[in-house]
């Protein structure tokens, strides 16, 4: 991509008046046009997607840390560290839903061949897109889009409601392997599925089960039940 093209793309993605969903859709159109495709889904190879995902993960962490540091002067290091859970893949998937980003258009068929994408893939799709924006339009533009994506979400993020993180911390403090989550069932119509997940310890003992309208919600509810078992009121 020549310098003029990079500058044009950066201007579109950094300009005012567009939602983050519109910016991501504009980037996908631009990327596909350069590849000679008019497909609405992102035409990117599995290998490139995974490399972009690696880069985007770091950029989202940078953007979140900057927003936390500048926007929360009263927060201590421990609180800011807990708040960084906002860039976990499951949180990114939930934010994408809030902000109208259609992550199904950001996942190559080779990675998401199943009909219902998991939250890890949805979150990874946001990371990959941010990484690709950095490669195509520069780091400054990618950080700007990442900040748009996270705007208002850090303030709303409640670390105490991150039962998955709390359960993992319990296991790590005990020197045990992290718990394992497994999908038990998926019911309901495709447009309104209900997921059931379990969480087990290193010996395969089920500690909790949970249901939800997304895999993230079901896993959180399973972890919540497990914490109730480990730390009864």
In tens, the pLDDT along 55-114 reads: 999 999 999 999 999 998 888 998 898 889 899 888 898 899 889 999 989 998 878 654
Is 39 a known active-site residue?
Answer: no
Is 127 a known active-site residue?
Answer: yes
User: Are residues 196 and 97 located together in one domain of the fold?
Assistant: no
Using the predicted structure, report yes or no on whether residue 116 has a pLDDT greater than 60. no
Residues 6+ apart with CB under 8 A from 16: none
Which of 34, 120, 137, 174 has its CA nearest to residue 42? 34
User: Are residues 134 and 177 located together in one domain of the fold?
Assistant: no
User: Are residues 167 and 104 located together in one domain of the fold?
Assistant: no
Last residue in a domain, options 127, 157, 187: 157
pLDDT band at 115 (very low <50, low <70, confident <90, very high): very low
Mean local confidence (pLDDT), 191-208: 93
Number of domains in the chain: 2
User: In this structure, what CATH number is given to the domain that contains residue 67?
Assistant: 1.10.1520.10
Which of 218, 14, 41, 15 has its CA nearest to residue 128? 41
Domain, as residue range, for 93: 3-157
Convert the pLDDT of each residue in 119-171 to its tens digit.
778 899 999 999 999 999 999 999 999 999 999 999 888 887 788 888 988 89
What φ, ψ does residue 56 adopt, rounded to 5°? Answer: -65, -35
Of the residues 53, 127, 153, 217, only one is catalytic, namely 127
Last residue in a domain, options 157, 178, 208: 157
Using the predicted structure, report yes or no on whether residue 1 has a pLDDT greater than 90. no
């Amino acid at each position: 991509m020549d310098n003029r093209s990079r500058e044009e793309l950066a201007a579109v993605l950094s300009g005012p008046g567009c939602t983050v969903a519109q910016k991501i859709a504009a980037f996908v159109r631009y990327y596909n046009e350069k590849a000679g495709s008019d497909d609405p889904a992102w035409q990117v190879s599995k290998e490139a997607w995974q490399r972009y995902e690696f880069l985007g993960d770091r950029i989202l962490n940078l953007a979140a840390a900057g927003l936390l540091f500048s926007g929360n002067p009263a927060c201590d290091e421990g609180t800011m560290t807990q708040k960084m859970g906002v860039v976990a893949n499951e949180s990114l998937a939930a934010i994408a839903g809030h902000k109208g980003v259609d992550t199904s258009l950001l996942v190559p068929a080779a990675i998401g061949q199943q009909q219902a994408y998991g939250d890890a893939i949805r979150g990874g799709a946001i990371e990959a897109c941010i990484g690709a924006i950095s490669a195509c339009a520069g780091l400054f533009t990618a950080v700007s889009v990442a900040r748009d994506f996270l705007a208002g979400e850090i303030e709303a993020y409640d670390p105490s409601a991150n039962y998955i993180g709390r359960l993992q911390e319990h296991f790590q403090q005990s020197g045990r392997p992290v718990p394992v989550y497994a999908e038990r069932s998926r019911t309901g119509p495709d447009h309104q599925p209900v997921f059931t997940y379990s969480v087990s310890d290193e010996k395969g003992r089920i500690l909790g089960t949970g249901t939800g309208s997304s895999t993230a919600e079901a896993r959180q509810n399973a972890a919540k039940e497990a914490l109730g078992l480990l730390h009864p009121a």
